Amino acid sequence: MLRWVIFVIVYIILGFYSLQAIKTASRYPGVYYSFIVIMLLVVGNFIYQFTFGESDGRVLSRPKSYAFGFLLALLSFQLITVLFLFSEDIFRFLSGSYQKIFGVDREFSFPERRRFLSLVALGIAALPFGSLLYGMYRGKYNFKVLKYTLEFDDLPDAFDGYTISQISDVHSGSFDNEEKVSYAIDLVNKQKSDVLFFTGDLVNNKAEEMEPWKVLFSKLEAPDGKFSILGNHDYGDYVDWDTEEEKAANLEELKKIQKEIGFDLILNDSRYLQRKEDKIALIGVENWGRGGFKKSGDLKKASEKIDKNDFKILLSHDPSHWEDVVIHDEYHYHLTLSGHTHGMQFGIEIPGWIKWSPIKWRYKYWAGIYKELGQFINVNRGFGFLGYPGRVGIWPEITVITLKKKPLA
């Protein structure tokens, strides 16, 4: 109860500054009162969803996600206006104090707010506010196909020009638009890659979330197969289960659904991709993550059936596994495919100029292609979304990688 009281007090203080900016900038009382109504509706819905809203053991249901998203957008607006107006208040206080000490009438009074500064504050605050609303309305389904060509000295000849499609972090429990998801499935198939890899997090929490989407995802096509692994959300660790047996049954149901979709789920094991007389080793590990995430991935066990000299592709959900374990292993894993970070679903990317997201402060390798010690990793930005029900600047991704034999010097 105390945390809600503190939250409401902070929210009111932030809202007070936003209202001051609106009152100073606009001559229409309707704008002022409309903002008050919006503030009350957003915070009221948020408190309701997280106290009396639906509760089936899930961390974030769809209504809770949207309540969080609208609150986040409004808070971004409020914080920007506070930054400007609080700074102005410090100036007004110092100016009033100076007049009291050195002025003629020696009375303390605040100078009036400057309308221009309020207009600037509102204009700048509208940018993140509008972006977050856009991310919820359109950005979350703004699918992008990102294509890379990677060269290797020891790529088997028959695999020169071999194409891979990768998707990751579906989070089917968050989907709310069948038409958009269907478009994305068609977009994956249009790439006509030789093989398809899915690198974990099919659901948010429960296997049942995937039921409405099974038929759609079963339409994914790749001539050499569709292979998958588990992500941290697939184990049901974020649900308050009544019994361990119920949790275990949920995981088994998820594995069954993956099979129904047509995925070959690799659990600390390996497969071979064959072309003529050549082959590539495909290794899949269960989730292994740094910082409190499940560490079920066993690289040694997964690689028992392959040869050290094989050309290797590793599927591992969390890129921290690559950083902490994979690149230092005695086996040389030529290419690792990961996901997990979502690029935080928020950032700025201008190819060739800038790639930034707050997630970079937690993950060194958070989106795109990286190379260390002669080994590559691609960190997919994710197919779906979780928590904030949108994406801003970091769009949902379908990766296409072409493997090439490096020409002789």
What pLDDT is attached to residue 108?
47
Whether residues 197 and 318 share a domain: the answer is: yes
- 400 touches 148 (CB < 8 A): yes
Whether residues 8 and 72 share a domain: the answer is: yes
Whether residues 38 and 161 share a domain: the answer is: no
Sole residue written with tokens 């969803």: 49
- 375 touches 336 (CB < 8 A): yes
Q: Phi and psi dihedrals of 269, rounded to 5? A: -150, -175
Whether residues 126 and 235 share a domain: the answer is: no
- 135 touches 390 (CB < 8 A): yes
What pLDDT is attached to residue 377?
98
How many whole angstroms from its chain centre is CA 35? Answer: 30
Using N-to-C axis directions, what is the helix angle for 2-25 and 62-102, rounded to 10°? Answer: 60
Whether residues 105 and 160 share a domain: the answer is: no
Whether residues 42 and 79 share a domain: the answer is: yes
- 345 touches 388 (CB < 8 A): yes
- By CB neighbour count within 10 A (0-12 exposed, 13-18 middle, 19+ buried), where does 56 fall? exposed
What pLDDT is attached to residue 58?
53
First to last CA, the chain: 70
Q: How many domains does the chain have?
A: 2
Whether residues 96 and 218 share a domain: the answer is: no
Whether residues 302 and 345 share a domain: the answer is: yes
- 44 touches 105 (CB < 8 A): no
CATH number of the domain that residue 368 is part of: 3.60.21.10
Structural domain of 202: 143-405
Cα separation, 366 vs 75, whole angstroms: 26
Domain closes at, from 86, 121, 137: 137
Whether residues 167 and 31 share a domain: the answer is: no
Cα separation, 117 vs 137, whole angstroms: 30
Whether residues 128 and 222 share a domain: the answer is: no
Tens of pLDDT, residue by residue, the chain (409 residues): 778 888 888 888 888 888 888 888 888 888 888 999 999 999 999 999 988 776 655 556 788 999 999 999 999 999 998 888 777 667 666 665 656 666 555 554 555 566 777 788 889 999 999 999 999 999 999 999 999 999 999 999 999 999 999 999 999 999 999 999 999 999 999 999 999 999 999 999 999 999 999 999 999 999 999 999 999 999 999 998 999 999 999 999 999 999 999 999 999 999 999 999 999 999 999 999 998 899 999 999 999 999 999 999 999 999 999 999 999 999 999 999 999 999 999 999 988 889 999 999 999 999 999 999 999 999 999 999 999 999 999 999 999 999 999 887 6
Sorted by sequence, the CB contacts under 8 Å of residue 400 that are 6+ apart come out as 145, 146, 147, 148, 163, 164, 165, 166, 191, 193
- 170 touches 383 (CB < 8 A): yes
Cα separation, 385 vs 383, whole angstroms: 7
Whether residues 245 and 328 share a domain: the answer is: yes
Whether residues 148 and 132 share a domain: the answer is: no
How many whole angstroms from its chain centre is CA 388? Answer: 9
Domain closes at, from 137, 172, 192: 137
Domain closes at, from 137, 163, 190: 137
Cα separation, 316 vs 339, whole angstroms: 8
pTM: 0.91
